[in-house]
Chains A and B, each alone.
Chain A
Amino acid sequence: MQNCVQLNGVCHTFNPQQGPVIQNVNLSIKRHEFVAIVGPSGCGKSTLLRMVSGLLMPTSGKVKVFDLEVTKPREDVGIVFQKPTLLPWLSVIKNVLFPLKHKYGRYSKEQQKRAFDLLEMAGLSAFADKMPNELSGGMQQRVGIVRALLLNPDILLMDEPFSALDALTREQIGFDLLDIWKAQPKTVLFITHSISEAALLADRIVIMSKRPSTVAKIIEVDLPRPRTTKTIELPQFSKITAEVRELIYAETA
């Protein structure tokens, strides 16, 4: 399969006195692959994500998307943030359409229809005209995901998207994300602190080392799809999470 995202010897330094945050990261991600990134806090996972998005340039090394070097934000990349960051003065549907309104100043009837369809897929069609503060945290984050899907990106970057949610909502929204991913295949780069979340969702788990961080190890998650609540009960699942946990603890120690 085609390489989608490729990082070659990527380094990033914010402040030369504190040394590099990210050092020599090499990683290639295939098209429509679901990759989770875990690692000790402060290891520069978000920095990595921002470099893929084109919001941040690497100090050295190359970030390539579809064999083209990333020098500015790309059209085919959608970002989901840790917080939903919806605009409180816009209704749900207008929030979903916001990227179009913001980029081009307008949107067409068909695009509006597409926004409704996406909301329907996320089970939110009944809330289209509600204001964000009338929604629960989980629903707000769903709207955030739908907003990222509006421009039909090929790559979805998710920066700890479910970390503010309670455990049950978190699991449910994870399965929903997998449904969306199956219906509309995308390359997903998913940063998380939760090992079980990473194992449950991803094809591969990238474990980052502590600062200056680099790829410590990559683990293939050979669990059958579709993943369900049953997946969690598989012995393989516990084996994978245990392995990841050990690797992370080895990093923090």
Chain B
Amino acid sequence: MQKPHKLNSFIGLIVPWTFWFSMVLVWELACQWGEIPEYILPAPSVIWQAFLDVEFSRWLGHLWATLRVAFLGFIISVAVSIPLAIIMMRSVLIKRILYPFLVVIQSTPVVAVAPLIIVLLGTEDSSRILITCLITFFPVVVSTTTGMLDTPEELIELSRSLQAPRYRETWQIRMPYALPHIFSGFRVAITLAIIGAVVAEFVAAEEGLGYFIQFSTSFFKIPQAFAGLIFLACVSLLLFKSIQWIQAWWFPWSMPSEN
């Protein structure tokens, strides 16, 4: 029997890297030969230089400001979302009451609400964290609820037939079953947390990567803005990946089989 197609790990590593490297090369060459002005699209080498021109400690300062807000926002939103999902799973009535409200929050553009929140809470971290929470909680609630409802009916029957307390049904059966779903929710939420933090910085901040990009642009330092943007993208990618690593490390059985 033929085995399902599986990527050779060497090729699986080499090909994507080569692809991205050549894309950067094309970009570099296009900028140099096409004489594209720096303020429209700076060449990678120029961006790299701009990156090096900024002191490392300043980068770290901005990074910390953004990460602090993104992390706290993410953690608070998880701490609220998971209990909320459990309550909504347990009570249809509460779900009926809360769900429309959640959808309304989710579909209101955060950018539009952000200035109001700043007015309400001031320009401290707390307002930026709230903005981040507003944008991150929805995927976590939805994925947790979906995951818990996805539990095999037989296991719920087993639990009922044992007349076990309901909290154990949730904790020992539904929650672990929901973990793969919860982690995909986390992966979406962590990237949204960065977006939330940056949006908040655009509205009001004195430091942070979003703030850095904005002031670089307003001072017409386009290569520096690009450097900030790419740095931010790399941080997002790293956070996205680390959620996967945490899942593989703590809950290896919950990883989807890859082929």
* B residues near A81, Cβ cutoff 8 Å: 154, 157-158
Instruction: Look across to chain B and name the residue whose beta carbon is closest to the beta carbon of A82.
Output: B154
Interface residues in A80-126 (C-beta closer than 8 Å to B): 81-83, 85, 87-89, 98-99, 101-103, 105
B90 adjacent to chain A (CB < 8 Å): no
Query: Interface residue tally of chain B, by bracket?
Result: 10 to 19
* B residues near A102, Cβ cutoff 8 Å: 158-159, 162, 164, 168-169, 172-173
CA distance A88 to B252 in the complex (A): 10
Q: Are A103 and B253 in contact (CB-based, < 8 A)?
A: no
Q: How would you classify the secondary structure of chain B's contact residues: helix, strand, loop or mixed?
A: helix
Query: Interface residue tally of chain A, by bracket?
Result: 20 to 34
**Contact A101-B172, Cβ < 8 Å, known A85-B152, A85-B155, A87-B155:** yes
Contact with A along B134-171 (1 / 0, CB 8 A): 00000000000000000010110111111110001100
Instruction: Look across to chain B and name the residue whose beta carbon is closest to the beta carbon of A151.
Output: B162
Q: Are B161 and A54 in contact (CB-based, < 8 A)?
A: yes
Interface residues in B245-259 (C-beta closer than 8 Å to A): 251, 253-254
Number of interchain pairs (Cβ within 8 Å): 53
User: Distance in Å from the Cβ of B39 to the closest Cβ of chain A?
Assistant: 54
Q: How would you classify the secondary structure of chain A's contact residues: helix, strand, loop or mixed?
A: loop
30 A-B contact pairs sorted by A residue (CB < 8 Å): A50-B157, A54-B161, A55-B157, A55-B160, A55-B161, A72-B163, A73-B160, A73-B161, A77-B161, A79-B158, A79-B161, A82-B154, A83-B152, A87-B155, A87-B173, A89-B176, A89-B253, A89-B254, A98-B172, A99-B158, A99-B162, A102-B158, A102-B168, A102-B169, A102-B173, A103-B162, A103-B163, A103-B164, A131-B253, A133-B253
Besides the known contacts A73-B160, A85-B152, 20 further A-B residue pairs in the complex with CB atoms under 8 A apart: A53-B157, A55-B157, A73-B161, A81-B157, A82-B154, A85-B155, A87-B173, A87-B176, A88-B253, A88-B254, A89-B251, A99-B158, A99-B162, A102-B158, A102-B159, A102-B162, A102-B164, A103-B162, A103-B164, A131-B253
